[in-house]
Amino acid sequence: MFALVDCNSFYASCEQVFRPDLRGKPVVVLSNNDGFVVARSKEAKELGVPDLTLYFKVEPLLKKHKVAVFSSNYPLYGDMSAKVMNLLKTYSPHVEVYSIDEMFIQFMGMPPDLKPLGQSIKQRIWKETRLPVCVGMAKSKTLAKAANHAAKKVPALNGVCQIEREEQRLWVLKRMPVDKVWGIGRRLKAHLEDMNIHTVFGDN
C-alpha cells in the first residue's frame, strides 16, 4: 500500500508558519525575480488569482484585496520539506520524495484500513510543523495520487482518502480532471477535451 502525502499550497503555507496572523487570509508567493506568481493560498485561489501568471497583471487585484505577497524563499521551503520527510520516515523506512511538497510512503504488513493512520499523519505534521497536508492511499502510486486529489477536493473526506474497493476507484476517477494525471499537460488536456474526455474515467 502506498500513501502520497502532499503539503497544501506549500510555499504559501510555509510563509504562514512564520506569519500565523496570515492564516485564513490570501497569500501569494512570487518567483525568484518576483516576475510570476508561483504559489497561492486557498484564499488567494478563491479570489481568482491564476497560477504562473505575470505579477504585474494581477498586482491591482492583489492590492485591492490586500493579499500578502512574498518573494520565494527556497532555503526555507527546503528546510520545511525536510522536516516533513523526517516525520514520515518514523512511519516507514520506505519514503520517496516525489517533489519538494509531495512524498510517497510504502506500507507493508499493515491492516487494510489505513484511514486512521492517514489522519494520524496529517494531525502530527500539523502539530509539529504547522503545515496542512492531505493524504491519499491506494495499492499503486498512480491511484494514491488520485486519492490525494480527492482528499483535497472533497471536504467530507477531511483530508484523507483511501481507495480500497472498485466502486471507490470509479467514484474518484469519474471526478478527477484528466489534466491531473501524471504527464498530461495543457496541450494534451485540450486534445483530450476535444475528444470529449474530461475526466480520468473517460467521456464525461
Reply yes or no on whether 59 is catalytic: no
Query: Quick one: how many helices (H) and strands (E) in the chain?
Result: 8, 10
**Bridge-based pairing state of the strands 160-162 and 133-138:** parallel
**DSSP 3-state percent helix, strand, coil across the chain (nearest 5):** 45, 20, 30
Helix (H) / strand (E) containing 3: strand 2-7
Q: What is the DSSP letter of 50?
A: P
Q: What is the DSSP letter of 23?
A: T
Nearest Cα residue to 84 out of 71, 98, 73, 70: 98
List the beta bridge partners of residue 103. Answer: 5, 97
Give the cell for residue 54: 505575470
Strand order in 160-162's β-sheet? 95-99, 102-106, 2-7, 133-138, 160-162
> Exactly one of 15, 43, 96, 102 is catalytic; which is it?
102
Q: Report the alpha-carbon distance of residue 21 to residue 135 in Å, rounded.
A: 26
Q: Which residues are identified as catalytic?
A: 102
